[in-house]
């Protein structure tokens, strides 16, 4: 897994920024975006399977941002940044990268600042958490 992380980190650093026509903004690829692929917002490591899924989807992020014609969702969330609550706008961009494979990219904009990449994942039912099955015995 370490080899994959190193390869994807090098690829991620090479991107720097990409123009997104649907948002009419340049999206920057910051270190926070790559950290978010590996760790949850509370800095706890993601599950190995979740890390792998996000890292494998990363190669499509640039394509989704430049080619997206559909914003799946836009929402405003309040987040504590450097000790103060700030309004953060999150856009979910969805694009079909190949037949039957849709990828979702989350782009975040803090206040009036620059838009930056936050996350990437497959946009299908399998990528969403499934309810846990009850493992108890029936009598």
Query: Residue 115 has what pLDDT?
Result: 93
d(CA 8, CA 61): 12
Query: Residue 125 has what pLDDT?
Result: 54
d(CA 98, CA 109): 28
pLDDT tens for 37-94 read: 999 877 899 899 899 999 999 999 999 999 988 888 899 988 888 888 988 999 999 9
d(CA 139, CA 132): 20
pLDDT tens for 77-136 read: 888 888 889 889 999 999 988 888 889 999 999 988 899 999 999 887 554 444 444 444
Q: What pTM, to 2 d.p., does this model score?
A: 0.81
φ, ψ for residue 63, nearest 5 deg: -65, -45
Query: Residue 124 has what pLDDT?
Result: 72
Going 9 to 13 to 17 to 18, the CA torsion angle's sign is negative
Encoded tokens for 93: 């961009």
Query: Residue 42 has what pLDDT?
Result: 74
Q: What is the CA angle 59-119-129, rounded to 5?
A: 105
Over residues 14-36, the mean pLDDT reads 92
Query: Residue 41 has what pLDDT?
Result: 75
d(CA 38, CA 26): 24
Q: Which residues on neighbouring strands pair with residue 20, listed in sequence order? A: 25
Query: Residue 21 has what pLDDT?
Result: 93
């Amino acid at each position: 897994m370490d080899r994959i992380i190193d390869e994807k980190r090098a690829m991620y650093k090479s991107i720097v920024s990409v123009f997104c026509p649907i948002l009419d903004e340049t999206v920057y690829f910051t270190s926070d975006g790559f950290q978010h692929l590996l760790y949850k917002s509370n800095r706890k490591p993601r599950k190995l399977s979740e890390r792998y899924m996000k890292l494998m989807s990363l190669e499509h992020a640039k394509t989704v941002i430049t080619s997206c014609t559909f914003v799946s969702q836009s929402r405003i969330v309040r987040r504590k940044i450097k000790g103060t609550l700030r309004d953060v706008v999150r856009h979910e961009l969805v694009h079909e990268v190949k037949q039957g494979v849709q990828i979702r990219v989350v782009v975040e904009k803090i206040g009036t600042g620059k838009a930056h990449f936050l996350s990437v994942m497959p946009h299908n039912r399998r990528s969403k958490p499934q309810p846990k099955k009850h493992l108890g015995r029936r009598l």
